[in-house]
Amino acid sequence: MATTLGTVVGLVIGSIPGLTFSMALALMLPFTFGMQPVPAIAMLLGVFVGGMTGGSVSAILLGIPGTPSAAATVFDGYPMALQGKAGQALGAAVMASAFGGLFSLLVMILLLEHVAAVAIKFGPAEIFALVLFGLSTICGLAQESMVRGLVAGVIGLMLMIVGLDELDGVARLTFGTVQLQQGVNLLVAMIGLFAVPQVISAFIDHGRAAPAKMPENVRAQFPSMKDLRDRLWLMVRCAGIGTGIGAIPGTGGPIAAFLAYDHARRFSGSPQNFGKGELSGVVAPETANNAVTGGTMIPLLSLGIPGDPATAVILGGLLIHGLHPGPMLFRTHLGTIYALYIAIVLAYVVILIVQLWGIRLFVRVLQVPPHLLAVCIIVLCVLGSYAIRNSVFDVYLMGIMGLIGYLFQRIRIPIAPVVLGLVLGETLEQQYRTALILSEGSHSIFFESGVALVFFALTALTVGLQVWSASRRRAAVQA
Amino acid sequence: MQFDRLDRWLGPCLMLLAVTWLWLAYTYIPGARSETEAGPRAFPVLLGFVLLGLGAIVTVSAFLAPREARAEKKLPAVMRREVFIVAGTFGLLMLYGFLLERAGFVISTPLMIVLTMRVLLRGMSWILTAALAAGTTLCCWLLFAVLLEAPLPRGSWRWLFF
Amino acid sequence: MNFLVRIAVVAAALLAAGTSVAQSTASYPTRPVRLVVPFAPGGTNDAIARIIAEKLALRLGQPVVVDNRGGANMVVGSEIVVRANPDGHTILIVGAGYAVNPSLRRKLPYDSLRDFAPIGLVASGPYVMVVHPSVPAKTVGEFIAWVRSRPGQVNYASTGTGSPPHLAAELFKVAAALDMQHIPYKGGGAVLPDLLGGRVSLFFGSVSTLKPQVQAGKLRGIAVTTKKRSPAMPELPTFIESGVKGYEVTGWYGLLAPGKTPPAILDRLNRELQQVLNDADARKRLARRGLEAAPGTAADFSALIRSEIPKWAKVMQAAGVKPE
């Protein structure tokens, strides 16, 4: 019962841009004070899992990610919705989410100790290498021109610089204002970059002589079993990516989703279809970001390390109920742990029921004329960006990001790499600097670690391949 | 406007942005405390130089692009209406934020919707406008304030009196 | 346009009436009390705030709404409270870092002593000194000797420059004349992987984070930073017991109100807070986080803040951290 309630709340909150599941978890926490430990934690887990899944709903229908983890889902999910395939995209997203989540749960149950032992080996140098590899996916996200993609990526990284540097406590480019010390919130930037350009386009299209393009077929059409069966192997790989990345503290859902998206594109027979409404482009990131939920539970339960803010709240919930995570937990409260495993499975059952039923309702959103929908989206975006930190400053920031987003669209600078830069920037810089402080300024720390070297090699390979294929394409055009 | 002509502007603009950024970084961000750490300035400076380099590449390739390639890619022309809507949407967003802080959610939301419908999207009927304004406000209020207990801006009227 | 103006005037009149009622202190509180948490949800500060809010609401007869305004090391949330109506409907919960901010920043948007009226201390607890098990020291004395044999080679983690764990370690460096390298991380969650992986040797952290690790043998507890032993980890000696003279650091959490809040309201809040802190359930929940409820008068809390500010200013200076 508690799980059901938690899951539904998570789904709702996850699907609203600006309300994150870490916030939802904090809101739910006081309700669990009076409950028994198992239902209390089950409810929190439900919110976590539901929130991760819910993010895909607004990503697909509105083109605005409900949570940062759903950003990669927008790239193909939203085009699918415009083509009238929203039902398919949403259905696939739910199935993929459930698959990813349950896969990671299975990994967690079977390999907890082993994965935890490997995850702890990831120091700053290794995480830096991993994130750099993530950044190399810019090449895949830059559609027309590599240089423009890189420009966008660098600008995303620059935006992340503004604010208080958490390591040295130094304010960077805040011009003496306290508001800017909070930095550019990832979600605020994403709402602005994704939503505002769309709203503007909807307004402009409204005035045109031609009637706004309406998706003709908005029936809730579900993906066929064959669609999913064809992608089973892809889903397994992406679930692996998600679980692995989730298990490494300091990474998280957005990185996993981007890596999975790029992975799917790279190993697909038709990479040119990505970004235009390819089902694999929805399945891959959704599998991965839900697999992260199980992944992050590994260091949380076995070592007591929260990998991200959401798991930090869950850790708080565990502590309040006298459950101290760590190796002891498995000796003292084994029954509770099994109950929690069951709760997660239950949460996914609830998700499947609610979402598959809800899709019929969701797709009706697309029947609303775009300009009217745009008016509602504006209100939702403003309230969402306000609610993230209860700050009107964030509303202004969202507006500015929106203006930048629209400008970029006009001068053909892709948005996706900006988002990637925003997502990865902070981790990239902090891990690099921490690694250097640890090694007392010697860069050899990056080359002494085998794991880091593997990721550096992968990065070089990715960039190299991309440059090679781009120059070959150019040669073909000129010939 | 043609694609490469755009790049002739974009390239120098990016380089200008990069130089401004570098100047800001060197002026306002303190460097590393010791030789053995990267310090808070290292990354911003690195990014500045990368952007400078990318700007240079865009500029150079825009001027060197082969003639045939130029005609291929065209950008849609900028219309006056577009400028109006972009500026209007942005202005309304700012106004909404400003009002939220002062007048609170319940007053500023319908006001904002009415303004959007009447000014940006001309020719919307008053009935539709009123229905949408009331409906959206009510739905958002139910969603945020009642269901999620997230604090919505109540507004403060102190600025009027003090 | 005309009718909009009319609406605005009516609304303004209503709200003005509302505020004038709120001015009278007898009926306090007249509406929900906002408890500003200057951190994102999820941390210790947030958890304490939610425990207090629940209990305080029962006593005040009005809801106490937790409002997270994280950012800039508590400055963002603090500034909001400074600017709020000083009528007791907006209060703030701060941690030990509040007394560090004046020496960490040259420009604060408020005066840490004048612009806030203390309501009372809520809870306090020790920081625990832990080392990675590969460190061959089991007591403070052994650790000091070990560090002295390798000056500058031992590193310690903190949750950011100017954070309480950083200062606890810096004070230790000063008190024992040690040479160690500081590695700042972003928050307690980021420290653990490197600490457990042995990439950093020493950390001063909260009981709730470190107790399970110490019990599981993943980390070795050396001492607690408070004057007395902690009931949560009674096996650990204090620094003073271990021979480091005058070394004492307490993590504390307390409630503040805007500076001009009427004394009658402050008294009422302090009275209710004392009741909350004597509540068995609240004490139990705080204890689970390794914290002890700390009842006391507003004057006690004020004295604590006044003694902490110069203490940390001195440590920061010794550590060579310059204010921004």
**Minimal CA separation from C287 to chain A, in Å:** 9
Q: Which residue has the tokens 């700007």?
A: B55
* Contact residues, chain C, for B160 at CB < 8 Å: 12, 16
Considering the domain architecture, whether residues C142 and C108 belong to the same structural domain is answered as no
Is C1 domain-assigned?
Answer: no
Residue C253 burial (CB count, 10 A): 23
Q: Is B150 on the interface with C (CB under 8 A)?
A: no
Residue A148 to residues A198, A201, B55, C7, C310, Cα–Cα distance (Å): 21, 22, 9, 50, 52
Nearest by CB to residue A390, choosing from C67, C72, C75, is C67
Closest to C77 in 3D by CA, of C100, C55, C105, C108: C108
Q: What is the mean pLDDT of residues C290-317?
A: 91
Residue C1, pLDDT score? 37
Return d(Cα A47, Cα A25) in angstroms, integer: 7
Q: Which helix (H) or strand (E) holds B158?
A: helix B158-161
Is A216 domain-assigned?
Answer: no
Return d(Cα A476, Cα B2) in angstroms, integer: 23
Per the structure, how many domains does chain C have? 2
Q: Which helix (H) or strand (E) holds A59?
A: helix A37-61
Scanning B16-45 for CB atoms below 8 A from C yields 33
Query: Could you tell me if A378 and A62 are in contact, meaning their C-beta atoms sit under 8 angstroms apart?
Result: no
**Minimal CA separation from A271 to chain C, in Å:** 37
Return d(Cα C92, Cα C66) in angstroms, integer: 10
pLDDT band at C116 (very low <50, low <70, confident <90, very high): very high
CB contact under 8 A, A320 and C285: yes
Residue B66, pLDDT score? 61
Q: Is A170 on the interface with B (CB under 8 A)?
A: yes
Q: What is the mean pLDDT of residues C96-123?
A: 88
pLDDT digits (tens, 9 = 90+) for C240-272: 999 998 899 999 999 999 998 999 999 999 999
Q: Which of A44-53, A349-358, C17-26, C52-61 has the lowest mean pLDDT?
A: C17-26
Maximum alpha-carbon separation in chain B: 68
Is A304 domain-assigned?
Answer: yes
Nearest by CB to residue A169, choosing from C104, C109, C208, is C104
Query: Could you tell me if A81 and A40 are in contact, meaning their C-beta atoms sit under 8 angstroms apart?
Result: no
Picking from C207, C224, C241, the residue at the C-terminal end of a domain is C224
Q: Which of A181-190, B140-149, C300-309 has the lowest mean pLDDT?
A: B140-149
Question: To probe the interface with B, which of A12, A131, A365, A386 has the most B CB atoms within 10 Å?
Answer: A386
Return d(Cα B18, Cα B16) in angstroms, integer: 5
pLDDT band at A239 (very low <50, low <70, confident <90, very high): very high
Instruction: Give 3-state DSSP helix, strand, coil % of chain A, rounded to 5.
Output: 75, 0, 20
Is C257 domain-assigned?
Answer: yes
A172-177: which pairs have CB atoms within 8 A and are 24 or more residues apart?
A172/B28, A172/B29, A172/B40, A172/B44, A173/B24, A173/B25, A173/B28, A173/B29, A173/B44, A175/B28, A176/C107
CB contact under 8 A, A312 and C42: yes
**Minimal CA separation from C10 to chain A, in Å:** 24
Return d(Cα B89, Cα A402) in angstroms, integer: 10
Return d(Cα B58, Cα B65) in angstroms, integer: 10
pLDDT digits (tens, 9 = 90+) for A148-179: 889 999 999 999 898 877 777 777 887 877 67
Closest to A394 in 3D by CA, of A230, A189, A231: A189
Residue C240 to residues A436, C165, C227, Cα–Cα distance (Å): 35, 18, 7
Pairing of strands C181-184, C90-95: unpaired
Q: Which residue has the tokens 């957005």?
A: A254
Whether residue A214 is predicted with pLDDT greater than 90 in this model: the reply is no
Considering the domain architecture, whether residues C216 and C156 belong to the same structural domain is answered as yes
Residue C24, pLDDT score? 45
Return d(Cα C305, Cα C297) in angstroms, integer: 13
Give the list of residues 6+ apart from residue C38 with CB closer than 8 angstroms, or none.
C45, C69, C70, C71, C74, C75, C76, C77, C78, C92, C93, C94
Cα-Cα end-to-end distance for chain C: 48
Closest to C129 in 3D by CA, of C225, C211, C39, C216: C225
Considering the domain architecture, whether residues C86 and C103 belong to the same structural domain is answered as yes
Q: What is the mean pLDDT of residues C30-47?
A: 83
Query: Could you tell me if A100 and A289 are in contact, meaning their C-beta atoms sit under 8 angstroms apart?
Result: yes
Buried b (16+ CB within 10 A) or exposed e, C8-32: eeebeeebeeeeeebeeeeebbeee
pLDDT band at C23 (very low <50, low <70, confident <90, very high): very low
pTM for this model (two decimals): 0.82
**Minimal CA separation from A307 to chain C, in Å:** 7
Residue C145, pLDDT score? 94
* Contact residues, chain A, for B45 at CB < 8 Å: none
- The β-bridge partners of C256 are C92, C118
Is C112 domain-assigned?
Answer: yes
CA closest to C163 among chain A residues: A169
Return d(Cα A125, Cα A127) in angstroms, integer: 6
Return d(Cα A97, Cα B140) in angstroms, integer: 27
Mean pLDDT score across all residues of chain B: 80
pLDDT digits (tens, 9 = 90+) for C160-203: 888 889 999 999 998 899 999 889 887 777 888 889 888 999 99
Residue C20, pLDDT score? 40
**Minimal CA separation from C237 to chain B, in Å:** 35
Residue C277, pLDDT score? 93
- 3-class DSSP state of C64: strand
Residue C10, pLDDT score? 44
CB contact under 8 A, A391 and C216: no
CB contact under 8 A, A170 and C324: yes
Residue A220, pLDDT score? 55
* Contact residues, chain A, for C190 at CB < 8 Å: 249-250
- 3-class DSSP state of C66: strand
Nearest by CB to residue C67, choosing from B111, B151, B161, is B151
Residue C4, pLDDT score? 45
Is C78 domain-assigned?
Answer: yes
Is A214 domain-assigned?
Answer: no
- Count, residues in chain C: 324
* Contact residues, chain C, for A322 at CB < 8 Å: 288
Q: Which residue has the tokens 């990721």?
A: A455
Query: Could you tell me if B62 and B13 are in contact, meaning their C-beta atoms sit under 8 angstroms apart?
Result: no
pLDDT digits (tens, 9 = 90+) for B69-128: 554 555 666 678 888 889 999 999 999 998 888 888 888 888 888 888 888 877 678 888
CB contact under 8 A, C19 and B158: yes
pLDDT band at C15 (very low <50, low <70, confident <90, very high): very low
Picking from C224, C242, C271, the residue at the C-terminal end of a domain is C224
Considering the domain architecture, whether residues C106 and C161 belong to the same structural domain is answered as no
User: Residue C177: which domain range?
Assistant: 126-224
Q: Where are the domains of chain B?
A: 3-70, 80-157
Helix segments in chain C, DSSP class H: 2-23, 44-60, 75-83, 101-104, 140-148, 164-176, 188-196, 207-215, 263-277, 280-288, 298-319
Q: Which residue has the tokens 């397994």?
A: A236
Query: Could you tell me if C208 and C286 are in contact, meaning their C-beta atoms sit under 8 angstroms apart?
Result: no
Q: Is A203 on the interface with B (CB under 8 A)?
A: yes
Nearest by CB to residue B160, choosing from C12, C34, C65, is C12
Nearest by CB to residue C12, choosing from B33, B111, B157, is B157
Question: If 0-12 CB within 10 Å is exposed, 13-18 middle and 19+ buried, where does residue B63 land?
Answer: exposed
Return d(Cα C198, Cα C190) in angstroms, integer: 14
Rg (chain C; Cα; Å): 22
Considering the domain architecture, whether residues C134 and C60 belong to the same structural domain is answered as no
pLDDT digits (tens, 9 = 90+) for A266-312: 888 788 888 888 889 999 999 999 999 888 888 888 887 877 778 87
Scanning C67-96 for CB atoms below 8 A from A yields 67-73, 75-76, 79
Please report, for chain B, how many H helices and E strands are present, in that order. Answer: 7, 0
pLDDT digits (tens, 9 = 90+) for A412-425: 888 889 988 888 88
Query: Could you tell me if C126 and C207 are in contact, meaning their C-beta atoms sit under 8 angstroms apart?
Result: yes
CB contact under 8 A, B107 and C7: yes
Residue A351 burial (CB count, 10 A): 26
Is A353 domain-assigned?
Answer: yes
Q: What angle do CA C195, C201, C202 make, to 5 degrees?
A: 90
Q: What is the mean pLDDT of residues B12-29?
A: 92
Whether residue C96 is predicted with pLDDT greater than 70 in this model: the reply is yes
CA closest to B108 among chain A residues: A379
Q: What percentage of chain A has pLDDT greater than the value 90?
A: 12
User: Within 13 Å, how many C-alpha atoms sit on residue C294's CB side?
Assistant: 22
Structure letter (DSSP) for residue C159? S
pLDDT band at B157 (very low <50, low <70, confident <90, very high): low
CB contact under 8 A, C16 and B157: yes
**Minimal CA separation from C20 to chain B, in Å:** 11
Amino acid at B32: A
Between A177 and C273, whose confidence is greater? C273
pLDDT band at C26 (very low <50, low <70, confident <90, very high): low
User: Within 13 Å, how many C-alpha atoms sit on residue B111's CB side?
Assistant: 20
Closest to C273 in 3D by CA, of C44, C64, C98: C64
CA closest to C34 among chain B residues: B151
Scanning C56-115 for CB atoms below 8 A from B yields 65, 67, 85
Considering the domain architecture, whether residues C106 and C142 belong to the same structural domain is answered as no
Cα-Cα end-to-end distance for chain B: 52
Amino acid at B14: L
* Range among B3-12, C83-92, C298-307 rated most confident: C298-307
User: Residue A248: which domain range?
Assistant: 2-209+222-478
Query: Could you tell me if A307 and A299 are in contact, meaning their C-beta atoms sit under 8 angstroms apart?
Result: yes
Mean pLDDT score across all residues of chain C: 85
Amino acid at A464: G
Buried b (16+ CB within 10 A) or exposed e, A253-270: bbbbbbbbbbbbbeebee
Maximum alpha-carbon separation in chain A: 73
Is A458 domain-assigned?
Answer: yes
Return d(Cα B136, Cα B144) in angstroms, integer: 12
Phi, psi of A271 (to 5 degrees): -60, -20
User: Within 13 Å, how many C-alpha atoms sit on residue C209's CB side?
Assistant: 28
Structure letter (DSSP) for residue A224? P
Closest to C236 in 3D by CA, of C311, C166, C114, C140: C140
Nearest by CB to residue C72, choosing from A182, A307, A437, is A182
* Contact residues, chain B, for A165 at CB < 8 Å: 40
CA closest to A23 among chain C residues: C41
For the question of an ipTM over 0.90, the answer is no
Question: To probe the interface with A, which of B93, B124, B139, B154 has the most A CB atoms within 10 Å?
Answer: B93
CB contact under 8 A, B51 and A154: yes
Q: Which of A275-284, A339-348, C23-32, C130-139 has the lowest mean pLDDT?
A: C23-32
Return d(Cα A233, Cα A461) in angstroms, integer: 23
Per the structure, how many domains does chain A have? 1
**C neighbour chains, 3+ CB pairs within 8 Å:** A, B
CB contact under 8 A, A312 and C289: no
Scanning A16-45 for CB atoms below 8 A from B yields 16, 19, 23-24, 27
CB contact under 8 A, C8 and B161: no
Residue B15, pLDDT score? 94
CA closest to C4 among chain B residues: B111
* Contact residues, chain C, for A305 at CB < 8 Å: 189, 192-193, 196
Return d(Cα C197, Cα C202) in angstroms, integer: 12
Is C245 domain-assigned?
Answer: no
**Minimal CA separation from C185 to chain A, in Å:** 6
Q: What is the mean pLDDT of residues B7-19?
A: 91
Pairing of strands C116-131, C220-224: antiparallel
* Contact residues, chain B, for A169 at CB < 8 Å: none
* Contact residues, chain C, for A309 at CB < 8 Å: 40-42
**Minimal CA separation from B57 to chain C, in Å:** 36
Return d(Cα C112, Cα C309) in angstroms, integer: 9
